[in-house]
């Protein structure tokens, strides 16, 4: 089976990636692609790698990585349209590859005309959607929708789409990438993630923990964290508040996994749309690298982990109490973290996950 995994990466991530590796900007296509895949950002690199291990011919297209796409265009004598390259180059790539399956995530800017242009190049178009669909962006070109939210499976099927449940997973190759670092856990308690307008519940929780625990925050949206006297202009100009050192810039790719690995405990709060299902990526990422996960979802209808594999909280006060308790009880913390890692590596790895994905792909072909 020939597959294209079609992705866009966060613009902030790509800026950081190429900014730290300026030599790659002019490098050949395959060298750039390999470096991006070895940084373990997102899930599409893992899909591609593990699909190939299982005998598929899988190709990864990162549509908005400009140096990468420029290199492909140059090597394949394809004109590079400075205005529409994010659309024209992927179409040229699909025409060249002629996949059996074109798999797209929830990049809704590509739904509609772009997917219509892709249709003649492939047998089927499948997609991954685990978020609300913007008005006017219905997935009419998709023959199959995969999602990690059980409620979305029911929602898609009720509106006439073929849909299947595919949980997220952890790429065990990440552990090999982390071997270059010392294993010391020098961050007592972390939150790694975004604090945007889609995370109102999360922002309230993280704010509360920031005031009551030694929580360190790595991510976008740290301006939403309340620092005492931050609105006092004179105070901000003349002094550095003692909590400011606990606010950090976003971390990406392998650096993000290293930050989780350095944390004794990491905090998780699901995005508001998750509802009663505890299924987000942080659950796999944190447990996969061997960190104790403090997470919501204790009353979830669909739980990935038992109480001896992660620590569940059911209120802000409970989260504070449990964070402080496990920071003082290393043996218990380490035992739960080991249990969680064992569960992820044996049941939630891409080695297993991709067998199910490829089975779905074949079934709906």
The DSSP-derived string for 128-185 is E--SPPPTT---TT-SEEEES-HHHHHHHHHTT--EEE----B-THHHHHHTTS----
Identify the residue whose tokens are 């300026």.
Answer: 22
User: Domains of the chain, with CATH numbers?
Assistant: 2-169+349-364 (3.40.50), 179-347 (3.40.50.2000)
**pLDDT at site 275:** 52
Tokens for 285? 């990422």
pLDDT in the model for residue 227: 55
Looking at residue 308, its pLDDT comes to 96
Indicate the pairing of strand 263-268 with strand 57-62: unpaired
- The DSSP letter of residue 272 is G
- Max Cα distance, the chain (Å): 65
Please state, in angstroms and rounded to a whole number, the distance separating the CA atoms of residues 153 and 155. Answer: 5
- Give the H/E segment covering residue 342: helix 330-347
Burial status of residue 105 (CB atoms within 10 A of its CB: 0-12, 13-18, 19 or more): buried
Q: Which pLDDT belongs to residue 307?
A: 93
Report pLDDT for 224.
72
Q: What is the pLDDT of residue 232?
A: 44
- Residue 308 neighbours by CB distance under 10 Å: 11
Please give the model's pTM, rounded to 2 decimal places: 0.89
pLDDT score of 181: 81
Residuewise pLDDT in 10s, the chain (365 residues): 999 999 999 999 999 999 999 999 999 999 999 999 999 999 999 999 999 999 999 999 999 999 999 999 999 999 999 999 999 999 999 999 999 999 999 999 999 999 999 999 999 999 999 888 888 888 999 999 999 888 899 999 999 999 999 988 999 999 999 988 877 899 999 999 888 766 678 888 999 999 999 999 998 877 777 654 444 443 343 334 456 788 899 999 999 999 999 999 999 987 654 455 556 889 999 999 999 999 987 666 777 899 999 999 999 999 999 999 999 999 999 999 999 999 999 999 998 899 999 999 999 99
3-state DSSP assignment of residue 359: helix
């Amino acid at each position: 089976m020939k597959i294209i995994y079609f992705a866009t990466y966060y613009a902030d991530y790509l800026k950081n990636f190429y900014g730290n590796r300026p030599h790659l900007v002019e490098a050949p296509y395959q060298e750039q692609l390999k470096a991006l895949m070895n940084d373990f950002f997102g899930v599409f690199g893992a899909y591609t790698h593990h699909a190939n291990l299982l005998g598929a011919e899988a190709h990864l297209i990162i549509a908005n990585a400009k140096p990468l796409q420029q290199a492909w265009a140059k090597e394949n004598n394809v004109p590079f349209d400075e205005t529409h390259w994010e659309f024209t180059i992927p179409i040229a790539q699909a025409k060249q590859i002629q996949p059996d399956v074109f798999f797209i995530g929830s990049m809704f800017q590509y739904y509609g005309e772009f997917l219509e242009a892709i249709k003649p190049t492939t047998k089927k178009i499948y997609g991954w959607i685990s978020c609300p669909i913007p008005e006017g962006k219905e997935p009419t070109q998709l023959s199959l929708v995969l999602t990690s939210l059980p409620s979305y499976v029911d929602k898609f099927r009720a509106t006439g789409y073929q849909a299947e449940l595919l949980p997220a997973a952890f790429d065990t190759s990440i552990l090999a990438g982390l071997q270059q670092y010392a294993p010391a856990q020098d961050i007592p308690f972390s939150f790694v993630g975004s604090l945007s307008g889609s995370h109102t519940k999360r922002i309230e929780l993280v704010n509360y923990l920031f005031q009551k625990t030694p929580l360190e925050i790595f991510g976008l949206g740290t301006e939403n964290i309340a620092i005492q006297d931050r609105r006092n202009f004179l105070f901000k100009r003349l002094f550095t508040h003692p909590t400011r050192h606990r606010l950090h810039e976003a971390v990406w790719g392998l650096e993000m996994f290293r930050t989780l690995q350095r944390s004794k405990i990491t905090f998780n709060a699901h995005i508001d749309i998750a509802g009663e299902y505890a299924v987000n990526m942080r659950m796999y990422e944190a447990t996969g690298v061997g960190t104790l996960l403090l997470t919501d979802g204790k009353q979830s209808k669909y739980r990935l982990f038992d109480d001896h594999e992660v620590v569940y909280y059911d209120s802000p006060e409970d989260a504070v109490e449990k964070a402080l308790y496990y920071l003082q009880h290393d043996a218990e913390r380490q035992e739960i973290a080991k249990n969680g890692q064992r569960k992820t590596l044996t049941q939630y790895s891409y080695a297993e996950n991709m067998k199910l994905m490829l089975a779905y792909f074949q079934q709906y072909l």
